[in-house]
Structure 1
């Protein structure tokens, strides 16, 4: 067990559900549970330990341990910025579509990809039955979902989850640093790849060693045709692949490769620019930029992960805590929304009828199994389409017949 300093803030009375994590999965789970009349504590750590996400700041009217759902700092970025058209019916079902559309997130009209050849091939959302997708301002989107959960009756608490002991969560209140115990009949683990609760109950299967090095270049004038392009551009290279897209903060550029294959120079601005300059299509989107103005790159894990089991008596995992995907899938946020909603419904059913617990958790597990199976098929197919570098360790590892997906890592 991880050692922590002694609990100094006492112990709060039990609630029906503690939802650990205030991202899309956690916020939607809290929303569903609160609408079902359950007492819900939604814990959001304000981005502590994840430098690319901003901390929500509490104002003078906010009680200690609570946080205003919609407040975010300027100048911060959270990657995971694409919401596909298929999110529209789910947002509508949750009663969130009108509010989401009113927020004015930039639309995504499709993608361009140089994958399998040097030529760019376009895929438009024009004929998608759900219309276009969106380039999200993730901080604003996440805050919107938390606001909806609070409006439904969930209590939002700014706290970082440190550990779990039975029906208690050990949390560190933000910004005071006071350590507190919270009790709940059920817990939803939406702590992302940290998987604070789930890792105590199951084991995590790792797909590969994929990491993302990324930075955001300042916006250029919208009349610059290279920078104004609204489609995401994906480009495969010998050591991995790149993508770039416009987000409200500027132009996001991301390089995906395996941790053991990553050039150490990617950790500095000049090295990142040098690697970027060797691309064909991505560099054209950066025609107005140069090495001197390249922001310092940041890094994030991007490998697939799966928790097994992802649910048990008294707890369920949702979002990246249950299933984390390679960014090539473009399904991360959509999966977080779906798993959050299903987790909330499963726990609602368990609280309403304890005799229904086994069946409810089995249904939830089957739902996750279906998502994982579809992802594995699509992942294997997508990577099999790139065959230009047969000797490249990155691509050789991803050929059909190589390391099994979600093999133990």
Structure 2
């Protein structure tokens, strides 16, 4: 039997979704369409009239198309400023480039997203379906009987509310789940990244290359991609291998200048005026991802190494599944619902681990360098561990 929570002055909601990225927005959308009273709490989207934050996780693979069609959201990536992705060029396992094109993919081309616009469009779809959106942050959460008590910070003030279910879609921060479960980190991978938004005088003209370029180097790997706002370049390495020179614009580009292929994509671009941004990029798993009255989705539940290029796709899939799961739990008719959701995440995690080990195992040019040796050792350890 489901016991309804008594709301406080914060509002009457069955579900509060914390985090307004793709996973949170799709969770809210699915729940609102099911007739649920949903509050989407988002503290990271840029308010109107301000500069949006730069983020990585800009590639939407072709496999996202069927899901977006099912959700009625495909038009959100075919219009606007999003660019068509025509595949990947990679120097991985060899100094030469090989081409992996999307031409033969039955789902067509992927997209290089303007992430801020894409995320905002998903939130707008959730609001159009009946979700209430508040620019606020969850600062405290605990169960109170069958209800979930949340303390929100909104424009410097605090408000408290009760709900029946809370969904953690706060990404790697995992502000709710990290206090209720254990997070398992895969390695020490970090990303330093910056946006190059204009060419210097006498540059090569318009940059029309829409393929992502990936290049392995002795201490990690690089990628660069054309996005609507300019050209994004990122360096991936382990936190203890990242030198201080990478923390300045000139230092990062000087490091890129030592590559064979990435440097040619950056020719003609001016050095950015601001320091590179840094973010954790390691695989991450929350265990367990659910509990009484709460559930984690997106990167809060399962985050991937960017090499997979599956982060946005996984956020959309897990968000849709999370919405359906919470709706069934509110109906109170299926005692297996949370176990099914966990099994769904387990399947994704198993496929990711196999893909991750295979991809890193293809690069064998620097077997004694710490970055690559760690991944070979980790792969061997995983193969020897009982399932």
> Same fold, TM exceeding 0.5?
yes
Q: Which residue of 2 aligns with 1:107?
A: 84
- Superposition deviation, residue 39 in structure 1: 0.2
- Measure the CA separation in 1 of the matches of 2:266 and 2:75: 34
Query: Residue 15 of structure 1 aligns with which residue?
Result: 13
1:230 counterpart (197, 203, 210): 210
> Which aligned pairs between 1:46-57 and structure 2 lie closer than 5 A?
47=44, 55-57=46-48
Q: C-alpha separation between the residues in 2 aligned to 1:220 and 1:188?
A: 43
Structure 1 position 191, deviation (Å): 0.6
Q: Kindly provide the CA deviation profile for residues 162-207 of structure 1, in whole angstroms up to 9, marking residues without a partner as x.
A: 121211111110xx21011121100111011111111122100000
Cross-structure match for 1:374? 351
Pairwise CA RMSD:
1.9
User: If the length of structure 2 is used for normalisation, what is the TM-score?
Assistant: 0.91
TM, length-normalised to structure 1: 0.87
2: CA distance, partners of 1:76 / 1:344: 27
Q: What is the CA–CA distance in structure 1 between the aligned matches of 2:380 and 2:195, rounded to whole Å? A: 34
Q: Distance in 1 between matches of 2:161 and 2:116?
A: 26
Aligned pairs (5 A) from 1:7-406: 11-45=9-43, 47=44, 55-57=46-48, 73-74=50-51, 76-166=53-143, 167-173=148-154, 176-220=155-199, 224=204, 227-289=207-269, 293=272, 295-352=274-331, 354-356=332-334, 358-399=335-376, 401-402=379-380, 404=382
- Tell me if structure 2 keeps the 8 A contact 1:109–1:125: yes
Aligned counterparts of 1:99 and 1:241: Cα–Cα separation in 2: 31
- Corresponding pairs, count: 370
Distance 1:75 1:350, change over 3 A: closer
Residues 200-242 of structure 1, C-alpha deviations (whole Å, 9 max, x = no match): 2210000000000000111349x94783211000000000000
Give the secondary-structure state (helix, strand or coil) at the position aligned to 1:156. Answer: strand
* Stretches of structure 2 lacking an aligned partner (at least 5 in a row): 1-7
Contact 1:217 1:294 in 2 (8 A): no
Q: Distance in 1 between matches of 2:333 and 2:62?
A: 38
Could you say what secondary structure the match of 1:180 adopts? strand
SS in 2 for 1:227: coil
Q: Partner of 2:32: helix, strand, or coil? A: helix
Q: Cα distance 1:294–1:397, how it changes in 2: closer, same or farther (>3 A)? A: farther
